[in-house]
A and B are shown apart, each in its own frame.
Chain A
Amino acid sequence: MNELQTILSDTANRLLAGRITRKVLEAAEAGEWQAGLWQALEENGLPRVLVPESDGGAGGGWAEASIVLKAAGRHAAPVPLGETILAGWLLAKAGIGMPDGPVTLVGAGAMIEKGKISGKAPGVPYARHASHAVILHAKPDAQSTKIALVALKDAAIEEDVNLARQPRDTVVFSGEEAAESGEIPGLVDVKLWGALLRACEMSGALSSLLEQTVQYAGERKQFGKPIGKFQAIQQQLAVLSTHVAAANVAAAHACAAADKYSEKGSARFEIAVAKIRADEAANLATGIAHQVHGAIGFTYEHSLHFATRRLWSWRAEFGSGRDWAKELGHAAIERGGAALWPFVTAR
């Protein structure tokens, strides 16, 4: 890790570990906005990790952003930190300044016409708490993407949540004026970059599952010894750890590709790989973690579910592993068997 990365890792993990208590998580799940947590994140510049230094950001790339996203996933941060980080990056591409407060992302459903927003957008993270939303809308020629920043304070919002009780609201736009708008070259879509967000956050949540499960196996005693001393449990935990490692590598690889290819928008392949791998790891890891924890891990009182319920929602958000795998597999079959290896090694 370089100096910026070390600082980010220390800052993010210390801040999140210190502030995200069980009480905070429970209050957030009950619908309460965590203003204090958000303010502390802003004071430390974490939501602006991808914003250029000239615009008051940290000037980091995805390698840096992934550190913050992983920390957010590890500590189950009940705020739209990832969404705001991504919004800042997208706005900077169009030369639009970053507003104050949490910013969310609108994927499918909304349209930008002559600077006005219309349409119904489902599953918008934290819309009810966000000051603004970033909207992307591919132009018909598919050569560029329209981007708009719109204030949400007067928008019609239908509240909903995912399994982890994180807000996933429906926003109905009816001709609201964009606060700012512009264009980004190439096709940029919220589903793709959202998939990268979730892949990184999932790698953090998976690491926390592993830590919690290994710790529990060392403390819980049955038949006169810690259950982690039994080979049957050891083998399960080993399997869990290999999948956590794989998900982490795939996410890091996607971030490296995003930094390398972001101008051309061609990190799509690596991001798909990361989301597919995180999805598969989540399937296996949540099962093993709960099995090792036994009945106590199935209670609300225990904290394991803050990670597992997130993973069960995140693996489906911004394209499930299956969605991305279909796209990737279809393209590979089109190219044919002989083209597979040259394609894989050219990335």
Chain B
Amino acid sequence: MQEFRFDLCTLPPEAEALRKEVRAFLADELKDMPAVTRAQTWMGFDAEFSRKVGEKGWIGLTWPKKYGGHERSAFERYVVLEEMLAAGAPVGAHWIADRQSGPLLLNFGTEEQRQMLLPEIAKGTCFFCIGMSEPDSGSDLAATRTRAEKVEGGYKVNGTKLWTSNAHKAHYMIALFRTHFDPDNKHAGLTQFLVDLKTPGITIRPITDLAGNAHFNEVVFEDAFVPDNMLVGSEGSGWGQVTAELAYERSGPERYLSSYLLLQEMVGELKARGDSSADAEIGRLIAELVTLRQMSLSVAGMLEAGENPALEASVVKDLGAIYEQGLPVKAHELLGGEPRLAGGSDYEEVLGYLAQVAPSFSLRGGTREILRGIIARGLGLR
């Protein structure tokens, strides 16, 4: 049985200094933003806000300066992220590129790709989406069918990506396509590509979610041409490259802070009511918040040290999703009050939004069942 490793991390002084700067910036930027808008945090898309964050130098914080980065530590980056989320900043436009696509290009991209895209990402002017899921390939990612067929000078792509967040607003997609089919090894033959979403032959159709918001999409490729120089890493290595991204994708503060604004509203509402009946439950929620933060920071520390804490990241995401998904239920149990779409108190509107989007928290970025399967493998059961 593999022991999980969660060594504690202490944030260095420079990270705490940066926290003050970020907090002051956000206090000013978000002062007129309604609570229900802030509750969207990393689902909130605001290109102008992202440009301002880029201007502050807070995107691509850890990347080399020659690519527009700032060569600061993963801990400083962590502080920027958690402050943005806790304040409810609309960071969705640049979030994916900063978290995942940029680091992917740094690890596996060509020099040309890096020079072309990383400085633009760091400026907060170039946005990415991730094309993984398909109609018949959700949790079973290796069932990817969208085909990239070798042609003169590049690849001809046919197929459909589904549930692609922000595809309708992003500039590029990091897409996982099948370049080769081996019925005995479906993990082989997958390749990652950088796809310019203005390419002819790509149709993007927003899908309205149950709350009435359109943030994810169906993206159809019909003989779309992707040039050779847009292949990321090496042909056929897509599976390995994608799984290397997962620890970044699954352990960040967005995996337990998605409902933080609701906790804040709950505390405020209880204070306003002079209600002490929920003291113990609020105490438990705060204890879990503190614990998840330490676990998530610990994974950040391991990533900074060059380790691969994929297993620990799955633990953080599973516990984090239970937490952020459970908050609307706790709010309902402890405070009652009708959830409102509009025209209610801050608490009622934040509850209205989060109660509806919470089911997605244990689906996106790896379902609860898949994560627990990974953890069970770590325990030696599979």
Contact = CB atoms under 8 A, between A and B. Distances in A.
Contact of B286 (A214, A215, A249, A329): A329
A245 to B, nearest CB: 5
A273 B280 contact: no
A253 B291 contact: yes
Contact of B381 (A237, A242, A248, A256): A237
B290 A241 contact: no
B279 A321 contact: no
B283 A276 contact: yes
Contact of A276 (B19, B270, B287, B375): B287
Nearest to A239: B372
Nearest to B269: A337
B1 to A, nearest CB: 5
Interface residues of A, number: 52
B6 A344 contact: no
Interface string A227-260: 0110101110111011101101110110010000
B125 interface: no
Contact of A324 (B278, B283, B369, B375): B283
A234 B372 contact: yes
A214 B380 contact: yes
B380 A325 contact: no
Contacts of B19: 345
A140 interface: no
B115 interface: no
A249 B298 contact: yes
Residue from A233, A270, A330 with most neighbouring chain B CB atoms (10 Å): A330
A333 B282 contact: yes
Contact of A218 (B10, B371, B381): B381
A280 B267 contact: no
Nearest to A322: B280
Interface residues of B, number: 54
Interface string A323-347: 0111111101110111011001101
Given A237-B381, A241-B379, A253-B290, A332 B283 contact: yes
B279 A326 contact: yes
A55 interface: no
B265 A340 contact: no
B28 to A, nearest CB: 15
B264 A242 contact: no
A282 interface: no
Interface of B: 1, 4, 6, 8, 10, 19, 82, 86-87, 260, 263-271, 276, 278-295, 298, 312, 315, 318-319, 369, 371-373, 375-376, 378-382
30 contacts: A211-B1, A214-B379, A214-B380, A218-B381, A234-B382, A237-B376, A238-B372, A238-B375, A238-B379, A239-B318, A242-B315, A242-B318, A243-B319, A249-B6, A253-B8, A272-B283, A272-B287, A273-B290, A277-B287, A277-B288, A277-B291, A280-B284, A328-B282, A332-B267, A337-B266, A337-B267, A337-B268, A337-B271, A344-B289, A345-B19
